[in-house]
Amino acid sequence: MSFMINRRRFLQGASASLALSSLGSYGLEVTNNKTRRVALIGSGWYGKSDVFRLIQVAPVEVVAVCDVDNRMLSDAAKRISERQKSGNVPRQYNDYRKLLAKEELDIVLIGTPDHWHALPMIEAVKAGHDVYVQKPVSVDVAEGEAMLAAARKHDRVVQVGTQRKSTPHLIDAKKNVVDAGLLGNVGYAEICCYYHMRANGNPDVKPVPDFLDYHMWSGPAPWRPYDKLPHRRWWRTFREYGNGIVGDMCVHMLDTVRWMLDLRWPKRISSTGGIFVQKDGESNISDTQTATFDYDNLSVVWQHRTWGDPADPDYPWSLILYGDKGTLKASVMQYDFIPHGDGERIHKDVVYEKEKYPEDLKEEDIELHAAPANRRHMLDFLAAVDSRGRPIADIEEGHISSASCILANLSMDLGGRSIVYDPEKRVVIGDDEATDRLLRAYREPWQHPTPKTL
């Protein structure tokens, strides 16, 4: 097997895994002569985006695709055949269990809605496959614990789609601002999202279209009568399927702050919020929320509003690190370092790769600013697969970030009281009611996974 890494200023003799873990995947090019057999479970917007990024950076054969929407499934299979080198059309499945039982695979990509992350990921690693699963890893804390336990028990590599730490300009910010000590002592961080992204409305209950298996789509989630196609934004507006803006957007920024500052579990989490303005629709996720993640000598404070104007129009979804020597403002589009007193300001913009990957410009619904990060995230994943090491967004890191956001919502649901979670004992210390809510009941006949049931 050939494995080649090219990197500017590459340290002579460093291993692939060391280079990736210490410097991220900026500037990486990987060539591997093994064609990996890949399956995609969940062929919607980001499922297709992930598989297209993988096709761009490595020799793979996408042999199977699974979705409960037959129209989406056939469209994805056609598009993948047009993008992959062989031109083969992947086999199509409506049930991920049948796919995993029949196909010989190396890698499984999971791009389903949040309530469908845990079960396919666990079954895939039990079948011996390495997995790339979208964020957040779970809809409750117990699912995440089970996913982590399954990955470790079956010795599988699991990368989570928290690709901010594979984002070129954010890698630069970590290396040349944070790690270089330009911030000094960081004692406070703000993370936020002010996008108007909360779907709303009052559609009538209607017949389920014949191309959609709505019972399978709902799976273990609490049942909601069918009122419109759930794809893209509609399912995200309900707590039955996810954790709202906190689970969708905070997880990225909290994960990035943890990576930049080398943080693990928060000592304490608290949150308040609710539906304060957008009261005229069915949506049951908060439109306004504040959450505080407390560490030793550091508070990380999240805010979102899905209405009104952002606090800073240049940084509507972002993080701000406050140090005694300077401030770092960073988003998916740019970063700015502002020193206190004398010193040089630093500004870097997002990196695009339009010339290297001109097909990006023709791809429907692509996030052009995220494509380079997603490619590097895939390269990091593949390097970990080859070395049998841990990727930069290992399932444990994804679980910590995801569970922290889930616990913030739990705090809000419990009137804002503080949550102190013990990940070893898997309990909320001194709070039996909160502990009981770490696992939510599955709809029959689905069985909730736990580390004890793997």
Pair (248, 345) in one structural domain = yes
**Residue pLDDT, tens place only, 183-217:** 999 999 999 999 999 999 999 999 999 999 999 99
Question: Once rounded to an integer, what is the mean pLDDT over residues 366-394?
Answer: 97
Is residue 110 within 8 A of residue 131, CB to CB? The reply is yes
Pair (160, 289) in one structural domain = no
Pair (254, 341) in one structural domain = yes
Question: What's the CATH code of the domain at 439?
Answer: 3.30.360.10
Pair (383, 321) in one structural domain = no
CA-CA distance, 39 to 73, in Å (whole number)? 13
C-beta neighbour count of 448 within 10 angstroms = 16
* Confidence check: pLDDT of 393 > 70: yes
* Confidence check: pLDDT of 313 > 50: yes
Pair (135, 72) in one structural domain = yes
* Confidence check: pLDDT of 14 > 90: no
What does the pLDDT read at residue 29?
58
Pair (76, 108) in one structural domain = yes
**For 454, what's the count of Cα atoms within 13 Å in the CB-facing half-sphere?**
25
pLDDT tier, 406 (very low <50, low <70, confident <90, very high otherwise): very high
What's the pTM value of the predicted model, to 2 decimals?
Answer: 0.93
* Confidence check: pLDDT of 51 > 50: yes
Pair (310, 442) in one structural domain = yes
Pair (292, 336) in one structural domain = yes
Pair (80, 189) in one structural domain = no
**Residue pLDDT, tens place only, 75-111:** 999 999 999 999 999 999 999 999 999 999 999 999 9
pLDDT tier, 5 (very low <50, low <70, confident <90, very high otherwise): very low
Of the candidates 6, 46, 11, the one whose C-alpha atom is nearest the C-alpha of residue 26 is 6
Pair (267, 291) in one structural domain = yes
Pair (155, 180) in one structural domain = no
- Cite the DSSP H helix spans in 30-188: 45-57, 70-83, 96-102, 118-126, 141-153, 168-173
What does the pLDDT read at residue 30?
58
Question: What's the CATH code of the domain at 75?
Answer: 3.40.50.720
Is residue 168 within 8 A of residue 334, CB to CB? The reply is no
Mean pLDDT of the chain: 93
Q: Which of 394, 409, 431 is the last residue of a domain?
A: 394
Pair (288, 226) in one structural domain = yes
What does the pLDDT read at residue 452?
82
* Confidence check: pLDDT of 19 > 90: no
Question: Once rounded to an integer, what is the mean pLDDT over residues 134-148?
Answer: 98
Domain count along the chain: 2
Domain that holds residue 116: 3-165+367-394
